[in-house]
Amino acid sequence: MGLQAYLILAAVIFGIGLFGVVTRRNTIGILLGIELMLNAVNINLVAFARFSGSEIGMVFTVFAICITVAEAAMGLAIVILLFRIRRTVMADHLDLLKG
Amino acid sequence: MAETVAFWSLAVVLVGSALAVVLSKNLFHSVLWLALALTGTAGVFLLLDAEFLAAVQLLLYAGGIVTIVVFAIVVTERLVGERITQTSRRITAGAVISLALIALIVNAITRQPLATVREPLPSDLTRTIGESILTRFVLPFELLGVLMLAAMLGAVYFARPEE
């Protein structure tokens, strides 16, 4: 399998994740879509690193995975906080910033 | 040959579980499908000879994130007293946007001459990754430590019990 097959697989997963982000109403569901998208990007990074025979892309993937975990922890903390304030996690009802 | 079979079975698992994540009615089932998708990604990393990354993926993603998300669901759904079903809105528009994006990316990918042969990697890949993290990329590594500390403090601060 060439590089192209891996890139196309990652593109399809990225698109599915985007679909989840756009259509989900539950904030946690949106976060799951974002995880899928970040995951697809990691596949791209590793595939490019493997086919160019360099370890640097894999080092970058380690950083990307760590930042994703920090993002998920913060995102879910914000969801819990929003739930405390508004008693809901539906994105449609979270309109505090609306003038 | 074996690689082709492994790639296609992993691709089927990944795409199927990713679709289940975004289409499942039950939020809890979505998380479990996400765990399968993340494990499948670890399989793709193995296929790309990145054993260390596959292990990191399983530990941090499939182990860490899934656990955190399950906690968040338990905290936010039980109190509300609703079942953990979820609905989607504007499915047609979302599908159009996603398919258009996928078509755009695939079109761009297929136009480019891309490598089909793997260049040889350093013989001890995990050791090479570790050495380059602690020498050439030591500053980003330190910054990552600061980021993790900030995320941990922030999460603890946000989720503290109300006085």
- Inter-chain CB proximity B154 and A19 less than 8 Å: no
d(CA B41, CA B141): 24
A66: left (phi over 0), alpha (psi -120 to 50) or beta: alpha
Tell me which residue of B87, B94, B78 sits closest to B27, measured CA to CA.
B87
Residue B104 scores a pLDDT above 90: yes
d(CA A11, CA B97): 13
Q: Could you tell me if B136 and B68 lie in one domain? A: no
Write down the pLDDT at residue B84.
57
d(CA A40, CA B37): 10
Q: Mean pLDDT, to the nearest integer, of B21-45?
A: 89
Q: Could you tell me if B61 and B111 lie in one domain? A: yes
Q: Could you tell me if B77 and B151 lie in one domain? A: no
State ipTM: 0.88
pLDDT tens-digit profile of B18-27?
999 888 888 8
Residue B103 scores a pLDDT above 60: yes
Q: Could you tell me if B115 and B146 lie in one domain? A: no
pLDDT confidence bin for B90, thresholds 50/70/90: confident
Number of CB atoms found within 10 A of residue B143's CB = 12
Q: Mean pLDDT, to the nearest integer, of B127-152?
A: 91
> Which positions in chain A touch B117 (Cβ < 8 Å)?
2, 51
Domain A3-90 -> CATH class: mainly alpha
Q: Which of A20, A46, A73 sits opposite B48 (nearest CB)?
A: A46
Q: Could you tell me if B43 and B109 lie in one domain? A: yes
Q: Could you tell me if B25 and B105 lie in one domain? A: yes
Q: How far is residue A92 CA from its own chain's centroid?
A: 20
Residue B54 scores a pLDDT above 70: yes
Where residue B12 sits, what CATH number does that domain have?
1.20.120.1200
pTM for the model stands at 0.88
Q: Which residue type does A54 have?
A: S
CB distance A17 to A36 below 8 Å: yes
Tell me which residue of A37, A27, A38, A72 sits closest to B154, measured CA to CA.
A72
Question: B75-96: string of b/e by CB count within 10 Å (b at 16+)?
Answer: bbbeeeeeebebebeeeeebee
Number of CB atoms found within 10 A of residue A20's CB = 28
CB distance B65 to A69 below 8 Å: yes
Q: Could you tell me if B133 and B75 lie in one domain? A: no
Write down the pLDDT at residue B86.
66
pLDDT confidence bin for B38, thresholds 50/70/90: very high
Q: Could you tell me if B111 and B127 lie in one domain? A: no
Q: What is the DSSP string of A20-81?
A: HHHHB-BHHHHHHHHHHHHHHHHHHHHHHHHHHT-SHHHHHHHHHHHHHHHHHHHHHHHHHH
Q: Could you tell me if B136 and B86 lie in one domain? A: no
CB distance A32 to B31 below 8 Å: yes
Q: Which long-range contacts (CB under 8 A, 24 or more apart) does B110-115 make?
A: B110/A4, B114/A2, B114/A3, B114/A4, B114/A7, B114/A51, B115/A2, B115/A3, B115/A51, B115/A52
Q: Please, which residues 6-65 of chain A have a Cβ atom closer than 8 Å to chain B?
A: 6-9, 11-20, 22-26, 28-29, 31-33, 35-36, 39, 42-43, 46-47, 49-56, 58-59, 61-63, 65
pLDDT confidence bin for B156, thresholds 50/70/90: confident
Q: Could you tell me if B102 and B151 lie in one domain? A: no
List of chain A residues with pLDDT < 70: 99
Block residue for tokens 């025979």:
A53
Write down the pLDDT at residue A77.
84
Residue B80 scores a pLDDT above 60: no
> Which positions in chain A touch B22 (Cβ < 8 Å)?
16-17, 19-20, 23-24, 29, 32-33, 36
Our CA-based measurement puts residue B30 at a distance from the nearest CA of chain A, in whole angstroms, of 8
| A52 phi/psi in degrees, rounded to 5 | -95, 0
3-class SS of residue B26? strand
> Which positions in chain A touch B95 (Cβ < 8 Å)?
19
User: What range defines the domain where residue B133 resides?
Assistant: 122-163
Q: Could you tell me if B71 and B90 lie in one domain? A: yes
Whole-number mean pLDDT of chain B?
85
pLDDT confidence bin for B142, thresholds 50/70/90: very high
